[in-house]
Amino acid sequence: MVFSTGVNNQMKRLILGLIIGISELGFAAGTAQRLNQNGVALCADRNAKTDSDCYDPVSYLKDQKAEKVGLENSKKYRAKYKDATYVFSSQGHLDAFNQNPEAFLPQFGGWCAYAVAAKKEKVDIDPKSFHVQDGKLLLFYNGFLSDTRDTWLHDKAKDSKTYLEEANKNWPSTITKEP
């Protein structure tokens, strides 16, 4: 089939536009980190437009608890790292994070560790459902259907070490999937 130069250029522009559009959709769909509308990590609701229901990443590892930051502290103690914003309950926690951010980041982009391990999927989490394993913060879905943290820790067929190995193996192919 022969096209005139004008049609050929139009076709090239159309194909290029489709390629760019598809790649942009793929990038958006492949959001690695679980963030709220403001780009803040570790929030209860990804659709929230405020940061009052977000959690301090340092509290999980230093204090062994999920500490909700609250609106006032979320405005006062903030740090941006790797395209995400983190909020803190105190200046001390902010300072600890700034000294070594990688030590406090949730694994698997803050998505449910069990879902990554067992199903190669991104599933929302409950920020209060967590486990620190091998010094890493793991978050889990805990809702009407199940408590995946309980499964991770008490599955008779598989131990938590095996789940973590599977999640680490599955994450590179899961990272680009739509949640």
Indicate the pTM of the whole model. 0.82
* 83, 113: one domain: no
Show the tokens assigned to 129: 């459902």
On whether the CB atoms of residues 74 and 54 are closer than 8 A, the answer is: yes
Answer yes or no: is 17 within a domain. Answer: no
Residues 148-161: what's their mean pLDDT?
Answer: 97
For 107-128, what is each residue's pLDDT tens digit? Answer: 999 999 999 999 999 999 999 9
Residue 25 counted as domain residue: no
Query: Which residue segment(s) compose the domain that 64 sits in?
Result: 33-105
Q: Is the confidence at residue 133, as pLDDT, over 70?
A: yes
Residues 129 and 101 in one domain: no
With cut-offs at 50, 70 and 90, classify the pLDDT of residue 144: confident
Cβ contacts of 120-125, under 8 Å, gap ≥ 24: 120/170, 120/173, 120/174, 120/177, 121/174, 121/177, 121/179, 122/34, 122/174, 122/177, 122/178, 122/179, 123/148, 123/179, 124/34, 124/46, 124/179, 125/34
33-43 pLDDT, tens digit per residue, is 999 999 999 99
Res. 18 pLDDT band, cuts 50 70 90: very low
Q: Are 100 and 58 in contact (CB under 8 A)?
A: no
Tokens of 6: 């004008």
